[in-house]
Amino acid sequence: MISLAGRDILHSWGKFVLTGFGLGLLIGVTLTMAGVYRGMVDDAKVLLTNSGADLWVVQKDTQGPYAESSSIKDDVYRQILGLSGVAQAANVTYLTMQVRNASRGGREERTMVVGFEPGQPGEPGYLMAGRRLVRSHYEAIADIGTGARLGDRLTIRRHEYEVVGLTRRMVSSGGDPMVFIPLKDAQEAQFLKDNDAVIADRARTAANPALNRPSVPGLLEAINASQSSNRNVNAVLVRVADGIAAESVARDIRRWKHLEAFTRAQMEDILIAKLIATAAKQIGMFLAILVIVSAAIVAFIIYTMTLGKIREIAVLKLIGTRNRTIASMILQQAMGLGLIGFVVGKIAATVWAPAFPKFVLLEPADAISGFMIVMVVCALASTLAIRAALKVDPAEAIGG
Amino acid sequence: MTATTDTGIHIAGLSKRYGAGDTAVDALKDVNMSVTPGEVIGLVGPSGSGKTTLLKCLGAVIEPTRGQMTLGGEVIYDQGWKIPDLRTLRRDRIGFVFQAPYLIPFLDVTDNVALLPMLAGRPNGESRARALELLQALDVAHRARAQVSELSGGEQQRVSIARALANQPPVILADEPTAPLDSERALAVMRILNQMARQYQTAIIVVTHDEKIIPTFKRIYHIRDGRTVEEAGEGREIE
Ligand SMILES: Nc1ncnc2c1ncn2[C@@H]1O[C@H](COP(=O)(O)OP(=O)(O)O)[C@@H](O)[C@H]1O
Ligand SMILES: [Mg+2]
């Protein structure tokens, strides 16, 4: 026996490839949407891995520093260092802002500016070019996602920073590329007031008799100094000693220090289950619609193709073709269409994924389940056409 | 209503009523007909006389209301189907030729013919050999590997006759096979049918109201209002 479906596909090859191509682009979009979600999850994991921390210590009752804002004093880390089981503890700041690149025609890029201390958790691990920070001010390590190159000059708030090192795939949970600068600079950038505001604040303080007491020399200066400097950071990254369970250290921190501490697993939960949950639902909705649209298209195409062959189907039935053979012919055509569509879609997604501004992660496992869904959808979509074909009366082949 | 051990096709007292009650139509009324192997008979009658209904009963796609049908010595209908599987009956023991060729457009010429033995479970090679043999007999072997759409109308009709013969059925039912053809081509088709009937010892029933070919039949059944009358034809030889 020959494959009727195969012969029909070969015979109307052009039509099949063309419709398969159209379907394929749709499948490509679907795979890409799944890839966008995977990319978001992966970005979150990369963010956590790159920070090099076992614990994130943040302000009490917050889920910072990525999902919510958190502010703690910058001397807290010393108390944490004193706890048993803590190997390293370091301050970090995170601030999402527009950074101007003076060397690239003043182009502005949305970035996450990270303040860190060299040699401590929070420092970027691997540089793809350049060197680590050696001066304590006005040097930056930028992710290539910012478009910056070595030697570029970035403007962050009022200061210029020279790019001395480059990283790759260092992005915030929102997908913004990172710029790393010294902690002190970052603290200043985060809380720095402009000159007018500083002058106004000083005038306000001087006008307040409670703060400006000529009988207490030096008080006004001390108050002014404390108002214009920033003693806050967003989080303390902790690395626990070998063989110590991060959770037990986290428990100590929560109990004794009136701070919140998250382990890696808890951070993943915050980032993936909470922070990107809405985005994931959005994508899920999109995927559901795309699956329905694809199904409708396949059903429509196969149904139309089948209606165009009613006469032939009547003849095939009259000369003794089994219903099963006819049904499997239509089913195979639908699956063939799905196969062409899937191949086109997979290629399309692979080709266009790198062009997306945020990371798109095409997981082979997603491709496999995508393929199965395509096949199931095509099989279901063909039932309409199969029903129509099975209803054809072989008597119709004999003229009336 | 006598069962016969003769080969060929025999119909006795066949009736067909469509619908029931006030709207019932008696399309066939007590039809009798016999066709022996190798014979080509004409079934002639005006529109609405019951020709197609008779063909559909013989072709086992509609069920008669009453009567008896015998095919190749076996009773296939006697107040009910006597064959459990009408699909294989049609496949193996009845050939169909239609007004238009109705070939399968996505199969090439050979496979259009070979499809029947294949459906009957014969191996592909054997089926194609059989198809080629028939295409040769019908003078279209040179188009064996062509696509259906590349063939002329006459060639397509010959391929469809080859398909009808493919499983060596004892009977071929031809439904107005010459209707769309001019006189010369219509006669050519009749010559082929006569030749095939003799060569393969097949009984062929040709439904027609085509005046051009009526003189070619040796025997004609006239059908009017569902009743048949048998009459001798001219049986003119076709050049
Ligand atoms: N499916 C049907 N239901 C009801 N009446 C039918 C049906 N098919 C045919 N008839 C009637 O049966 C009669 C014979 O029809 P038909 O066999 O098609 O005649 P012919 O082929 O000679 O034109 C006509 O009166 C026709 O209207
Ligand atoms: Mg008719």
The number of the ligand 1 atom at minimal distance from the alpha carbon of B46 is 22
What φ, ψ does residue B139 adopt, rounded to 5°?
70, 30
Q: How many CB atoms lie within 10 A of CB A182?
A: 20
Residue among B56, B119, B173 whose CB faces A321 most closely: B119
Q: Is B172 on the interface with A (CB under 8 A)?
A: no
Ligand 1 in contact with B51 (CB < 6 A)? Answer: yes
Do residue B96 and residue A318 have CB atoms under 8 angstroms apart? yes
Cβ–Cβ gap B107/A2 under 8 Å: yes
Task: Give the Cβ contact number of residue A76 at 10 Å.
Answer: 21
Question: Does A27 share its domain with A166?
Answer: no
- Are B17 and B214 spatial neighbours (Cβ–Cβ below 8 Å)? no
Give the number of other CB atoms < 10 A from CB of residue B67. 20
Q: Cβ contact (<8 Å) for A318 and B107? A: no
Whether residue A106 lies inside any domain: the answer is yes
Within its chain, how far is the Cα of B197 from the centroid? 11
Same-domain status, A178 and A247: yes
- Residue A56 Cα to ligand 1 midpoint, Å, equals 86
Domain boundaries, chain B: 9-232
**Is residue B147 less than 8 Å (CB to CB) from chain A?**
yes
Residues A106 and A246 in one domain: yes
Chain A residue nearest residue B99, CA to CA: A399
Residue B41, Cβ density class (10 Å: 0-12 exposed, 13-18 middle, ≥19 buried):
buried
Pull the structure tokens for residue B187. 């006669």
User: Which residues of chain B, if any, have pLDDT below 50?
Assistant: 1-4
A4–chain B nearest CA distance, Å = 8
Q: Please report the pLDDT score of residue B33 as a whole number.
A: 95
Interchain CB contact of B52 with A (< 8 Å): yes
H or E, element range at A348 = helix A323-352
How many structural domains is chain A composed of? Answer: 2
CA B28–ligand 1 middle distance (angstroms): 9
B90 contacts A394? CB cut-off 8 A: yes
Instruction: Name which of B3, B5, B18 is nearest B226 in CA terms.
Output: B18
For ligand 1, whether the C-beta of B23 sits within 6 Å is no
Q: Which ligand is nearest to the CA of B99?
A: 2
Q: Do B61 and A12 touch (CB under 8 A)?
A: no
**C-beta atoms surrounding A145 within 10 Å:** 22
Q: How far is CA B128 from CA A48, A225, B35, B56, in A?
A: 68, 100, 30, 29
Q: Quick one: B9-232 is in which CATH superfamily?
A: P-loop containing nucleotide triphosphate hydrolases (3.40.50.300)
Asked if residue A317 is part of any domain, the answer here is yes
Residue B54 CA: which ligand is closest?
1
> What pLDDT does B4 receive?
45
- For residues A251 and A326, state if they share a domain: no
Per-residue three-class SS string for B182-207: CHHHHHHHHHHHHHHHHHHCCEEEEE
Torsion sign (Cα): B88, B89, B92, B97: negative
Q: Does B163 touch chain A (CB under 8 A)?
A: yes
A33 and A65 in a common domain: no
Structure tokens at A229: 């400097």
pLDDT tens digits for range A82-121: 888 889 999 999 998 899 988 888 888 899 999 999 988 8
pLDDT at B3: 42
CA distance A244 to A217: 51
pLDDT the model gives residue A179: 95
Q: Whose CA is nearest to atom 25 of ligand 1?
A: B48
**Shared-domain flag, residues A162 and A188:** yes
b/e A338-355 (16+ beta carbons within 10 angstroms → b) = bbbbbebbbebbbeebee
Q: Cis omega before residue A182 (within 30°)?
A: no
Q: What pTM value is reported for the model? A: 0.81
Ligand nearest to the CA of B47: 1
Ligand 1 within 6 A of CB of B208: no
Which amino acid, B216?
T
| Alpha carbon distance B79, A35 (integer Å) | 67
Is the CB of residue A54 less than 8 Å from the CB of residue A239? Answer: yes
Closest Cα of chain B to A273: distance in Å? 53
One-letter amino acid identity for A233?
V
Cα(B38) to centroid(ligand 2), Å: 25
What pLDDT score does A228 carry?
65
Q: Do A319 and B105 touch (CB under 8 A)?
A: no
Q: How crowded is residue A146: how many other Cβ atoms within 10 Å of its Cβ?
A: 26
CA of A19 vs chain B CAs: smallest distance (Å)? 18
Which pLDDT tens digit goes with each residue over A4-17?
999 999 998 998 89
**Atom of ligand 1 at shortest range from CA of B25:** 5
> Residue B185's pLDDT is what?
86
DSSP state string for A55-86: EEEE-TT--TTTSS---EETTHHHHHHTSTTE
Contact B39/A at CB under 8 A: no
Residue of B nearest to A5 (CA): B106
b/e sequence A369-391, b meaning 16+ C-beta within 10 Å: ebbebbeebbbebbbbbbebbee
Rounded Cα–Cα distance for residues A318 and A396 (Å) = 9
Task: Determine, yes or no, domain membership for A340.
Answer: yes
Determine, yes or no, domain membership for A127: yes
Q: Which residue of A has its CA nearest to B88?
A: A320
3-state secondary structure (DSSP) of residue A352 = helix
Q: How far is the CA of B60 from the centre of ligand 2 (A)?
A: 16
Per-residue pLDDT of chain A (400 residues; tens, 9 = 90+): 889 999 999 998 998 899 999 999 999 999 999 999 999 888 888 888 888 889 999 998 888 788 888 888 888 888 888 888 889 999 999 998 899 988 888 888 899 999 999 988 889 888 999 899 888 889 999 999 998 899 999 998 888 999 999 998 888 888 899 999 999 888 888 776 677 777 877 788 888 887 777 777 777 777 777 766 677 888 899 998 888 888 988 998 888 778 899 999 999 999 888 888 888 899 999 999 998 998 898 889 999 999 999 999 999 999 999 999 999 999 999 999 999 999 999 999 999 999 998 889 999 999 999 999 999 999 999 999 999 999 999 998 887 5
For helices A277-307 and A310-318, angle between their N-to-C axes, nearest 10 degrees: 60
B165, closest residue in chain A (CA to CA)? A319
Residues A250 and A366 in one domain: no
What's the B49 CA to ligand 2 centre distance in angstroms? 8
Which domain range does residue A381 map to?
4-44+277-397
How many Å apart are CA A68 and CA A50, to the nearest integer? 19
Task: Give me the residues of B, 58-87, that contact A with CB < 8 A.
Answer: 59, 61-62, 87
Same domain membership, residue A296 and residue A185: no
Which residues numbered 92-121 in B keep a CB inside 8 Å of some CB on A?
A: 92, 96, 98-99, 102, 104-107, 111, 115-116, 118-120
Q: For residue B98, report the distance from its CA to the centre of ligand 2, in Å.
A: 11
Amino acid, res. A391? K
Shared domain for A17 and A133, answered yes or no, is: no
Q: What is the distance between the alpha carbons of residues A140 and A163, in angstroms, rounded to a whole number? A: 5
Q: How do residues A31-52 score in pLDDT, each as one tens digit?
A: 999 999 999 888 888 888 888 8
Q: Are A320 and B119 in contact (CB under 8 A)?
A: yes
Do A76 and A158 fall into the same domain? yes
A105 in contact with ligand 1, CB cutoff 6 A: no
Residue B225 token pair? 């209002």
Residue B114, φ and ψ in degrees, nearest 5: -70, -20
pLDDT of the residue at A51: 85
Tokens describing residue B77: 């209908």
Beta-bridge mates of residue B16:
B28
> Which residue, B59, B64, B56, is CA-closest to B81?
B64
Query: CA-CA distances (angstroms) from residue A160 to A60, A101, A122, A189, B150?
Result: 34, 9, 22, 11, 77
